[in-house]
Amino acid sequence: MATKAVTDASFQSDVLEADKPVLVDFWADWCGPCKMIAPALEEISDELEGKVEIVKMDIMENPDVPGQMGVQSIPFLALFSGGKVVAHQMGAAPKNALKNWLESNL
């Protein structure tokens, strides 16, 4: 299951109203570390299918939600559950570290 893109317009329904936890990867095309963690997030998405949905938000195309959340640097990962941020992490990390962080917050 590939990670899907969310937009400012779809954020409410795709993330805040989701019936399971959603990890949002705030990224941009020019961000090297963002591109570095993308394959790991795809793999984690497959491995944790059914437990969490992983989505991506391009901050250049969708400035509203990252602005409201105060996203200052990317990559920025925010885990939402029940419409609220329950955990967040800045910066790139190896796949096992990302997966351990995510699983410990689910």
CB 60 within 8 A of CB 42: no
The catalytic residue among 34, 52, 54, 71 is: 34
| 3 has pLDDT over 90 | no
Domain around 93: 4-105
- Please confirm, yes or no, whether 9 is among the known catalytic residues: no
Q: Is 25 exposed, middle or buried (0-12, 13-18, 19+ CB in 10 A)?
A: buried
Would the pTM of this model clear 0.75, i.e. be above it? yes
Number of domains in the chain: 1
Read off the pLDDT of residues 6-54 as tens digits, 9 standing for 90 and up: 999 999 999 999 999 999 999 999 999 999 999 999 999 999 999 999 9
d(CA 5, CA 2): 10
> Is 34 tagged catalytic?
yes
- Catalytic hit among 15, 31, 41, 57: 31
CATH number of the domain enclosing 61: 3.40.30.10
